[in-house]
Amino acid sequence: VVVTLEPHDHHGRTPPCTEALIAAGVGRVAISRLDPNPEVSGAGVARLRRAGIEVVTDVAPEVGTTVDPGYFHWWGTGLPRVILKTASTLDGQTAAADGTSRWITSEEARQDAHRLRSEVDAVMVGSGTVLSDDPHLDVRLPGYEGHQPRPVLVLGERRLPLGLAVLAREPIVVAPRPAGYHDEIVAPGRRGVDLKSALRALGERGVFDVLVEGGATLAGALWEAGLVSEGVTYIAAAFAGGLGRSMFDRTFSTLSDLRRIDITDVSTVGPDVRIAWRVRETDS
């Protein structure tokens, strides 16, 4: 078993891991990345060794990235890993012109998307999606009792009416000015919220993996700002047969705007196709 030694206990996502490992009776710890601060990493390693635990410190960095990609993304960039989840028709429509989008994909695809939610710290949507869909943004799978992601709502000018389902789930509200919610991040930007500083503030709260579930306005703004790291796109076995809402509420002006991705996995879920992808760090 490979365990990542997380010395940053001050951000509150996990308790100090050295003590947890000692209490769990672990015999051997393999560390893939040490904190650059030798005082932190050295103290952790020494504490484990004093407790009689064998410590290996030369595991390849990629191993750590695989075990906890969001944390290492945050460590390297100061920003959470943003995963864009979209459900579209085969001709690329994510909602009809009248805003209806439930449901474009199959029950199986939606269940798979719930599993994605179970793997992240937070699920983010814009106010347009909250107002039109009234989503819960929680994991609802048969028999599931595990971790629930925190809802993150990106607001602009419009207010949310009381009684929306997600408001009962203690959301983190991101807004360009104080909006009066219990837990809010104020991040004024040129148009609505400054998404980069909002993400940085989420990272400081220990939110390292953010699953963005729409809509096209928020997705377009995150994409344009280069803040999306990877994504999962569900393509329904269906055609819209015309233009409704696309994945990104943006114009594709010229071919040089095209950004290449690496497809990391392709599978079928029920009648639909699921494509996992990652944005290329260097565009080529």
Ligand X SMILES: NC(=O)c1ccc[n+]([C@@H]2O[C@H](COP(=O)([O-])OP(=O)(O)OC[C@H]3O[C@@H](n4cnc5c(N)ncnc54)[C@H](OP(=O)(O)O)[C@@H]3O)[C@@H](O)[C@H]2O)c1
Residues near ligand X (CB under 6 A) are 86-87, 94-95, 99, 101, 104, 125-129, 132-133, 154-158, 189, 191-193, 195, 213-218, 221, 245, 249
User: Which residue, 21 or 201, is less far from ligand X as judged by CB?
Assistant: 201
User: Which residue, 177 or 259, is less far from ligand X as judged by CB?
Assistant: 177
Residue in 260, 263, 261, 231 with CA at minimum distance from that of residue 247: 231
Beta partners for residue 256, in sequence order? none
CB of 58 to ligand X, least distance (A): 43
How many CB atoms within 10 Å of residue 224?
14
CB of 235 to ligand X, least distance (A): 11
Burial 77-94 (b: 16+ CB within 10 A, else e): eebbbbbbbbbbbeebbb
**Coil, strand or helix at 191:** coil
Determine the Cα–Cα distance for residues 48 and 54; give it in Å rounded to an integer: 8
Beta partners for residue 137, in sequence order? none
Beta partners for residue 185, in sequence order? 174
Half-sphere exposure of 106 (CA within 13 A, CB side): 14
User: Which residue, 17 or 167, is less far from ligand X as judged by CB?
Assistant: 167
Q: 283: which 2 tokens?
A: 């565009």
CB of 73 to ligand X, least distance (A): 21
User: Which residue, 82 or 218, is less far from ligand X as judged by CB?
Assistant: 218
User: Which residue, 182 or 191, is less far from ligand X as judged by CB?
Assistant: 191
CB of 279 to ligand X, least distance (A): 18
CB of 183 to ligand X, least distance (A): 17
